[in-house]
Structure 1
Amino acid sequence: MSTARAERLVNLVLALLSTRQYLTAERIRGIVPGYADAVSDEAFFRMFERDKTELRELGIPLETGRNSSFDSVEGYRIARRDYELGEIELAPDEATAVGLAVRLWDSPELTGQAQGALVKLRAAGVEVENGAPTVVESRVRAESAFSPLLAAVQNRQAVSFQYRRSGSPDRLMRTLEPWGVVSWKARWYVIGHDRDRQAPRCFRLSRVSGDVRTVGKPGEVRRPEDVNLLEFVAVTGDQDPTPVATATVWIADRRAAGVRRHAKLVGRLAVDGVDGDLAEIELFAPESAADWIAGHGPDVLVLEPDVLAKSVRDRLEAIVHHGGRP
């Protein structure tokens, strides 16, 4: 919906709420900003019909009627009794839960929405307890990927994103048909059908890097009716992924700290008179590990597997061939 149309609809609602009488279309055309832009009577009536349909689809109770039996033209109004929110009643424990939920959010976007809900409850006369029990200490951090992934779930649209698996610096591209976003143990997860693995998977939002991009058209994703998202995360969310392969490497002493963080030292070895450690590294994406290892130059030497050793060597030779430029 365009900004101009949204403003016109808001003005229309305010005008119809502010009067007890029925306002005719011509009267509305004269007092509601936005309708004066219509180039002709026919254009105005088409615009007005679309707006009436929009209001009814939004659930706004638009009434039609006449102010007296002498009126020949019907008018419109919105009855406040049907439009306004009814009285809100929360039990003490429910009000406390609302206050606790506000304290749990750790995101500017979600905090604003939660605080807004709190203000509305208090305006309605509901006393919400801010001093909620301190038994819940953790805060739910909404990652940057939260909003686009939640929007994709609501639009039933597939997404693609880069994902860093546990214990690995590699970032892999994933294409997911999202079913839902849930919080488990103070972490956010998205669950859905992984097109790359052709199986259900969950991904921790804190490991999503870069932009989340939509794939295909809205409405294409179908969530299975029997899936329990929270249960799925509880079973699989904190499990370490299975490595695809293991590489044996030599690491020069006091060098390549980035490789050492992910390596298991298994012995000592000297290469061309230079002392170092013999180590094993679990690989989750062998196809991208060569770039990562080659970035450490002569400080890391791949011993096994041969395919990875050759890939690293090819990259280093290419750098030398281009005068030090990759």
Structure 2
Amino acid sequence: MIARVASGGGKRESRIPVEDRLFSLVLALLATETGLLKAEILSTVRGYAERFDTSGQNANLERQFERDKDDIRELGIPLETVESPDRPGDNQALRYRIPKGQYDLPDEVRFTPDELALLGLAAEVWREASLSADSQRALTKLRSLGIEPRDPVIGYAPRLRVREAAFEPLRQALDRRQTVRFRYFKPGEPEARLRTVNPLAVVLHENRWHLHAFDLDADGPRTFLLSRIIGAVTPVAGSTFEAPPAGIQDRVIAELNELRLRNSADLAVTAGSDAEVRLGKRAVEGDEDAGVIRLHYTDAAVLADELAAYGPEVRVLSPESLREAVRERLRAVAAAHRDGVEEAS
């Protein structure tokens, strides 16, 4: 997402979004105490470096940089111009920087727990952006110019990680609007099936990542759990698609929430058990005397996996389909242990 170094002069790549280029510029200017020369910015920062001409024909790129400076300042970011003491009045010797002390949040600004949770989710989506491969290459390039980036820039990297291996290639496919293939295991099917899809949105719902996409084989929209994607996500060469409609992420989350509210399960939990403590926190209704709670859920297979792990601490009262799904998992566990005992004997 951020600063990337072009591998050669004049190399042209796909158009970088404006917001991506501005963010890359801000991060680069925050990374240095002494500032960067215009030539250093144009040759190293993502959004400029892809179009930088080493022969010096960069008039259009310089005008773009001038407009970007104005845009950054209009956003309230304190971009400074520092004149060289050895070359006063020489515009080519001007250095640009963003003083980190002026850009930091004021000490009196505090976040509520809910606000911190939202920031944490945003950080999880960002996925360590300021320490990505693009950023590391850019910082390495700056060091090669004799500029040592300030360590505090590393503080911009979120500490949250996305566990599913499919997340990053899907994010890249979304950015590039590129069709992808992957093998997907759907509960109830004997093996994973190959899916070819146009990714439209990746959303977090009930602490699980979901991909909403147009399934080319099924000729319709489908939503997939990233945790059920088996193996690599591979792009389909030369296959792209139109940008998804605005607000699609909100629509997908709303649909998942509606699905969750339509599904409810009544569970009998053992008093004082781990199941009572953990599941009770999510209960929408409960009868403490009877030891019964009601939960909403989105995916029956995911809930069945969780309930089976509690063993005798929880019993499904309804629906019958969920009760049978839990029984199947417990039978599979019992059979596996029987087989293990027989082999050992």
- TM-score, normalised relative to structure 2: 0.43
Per residue, is there more strand in 1 or in 2? 1
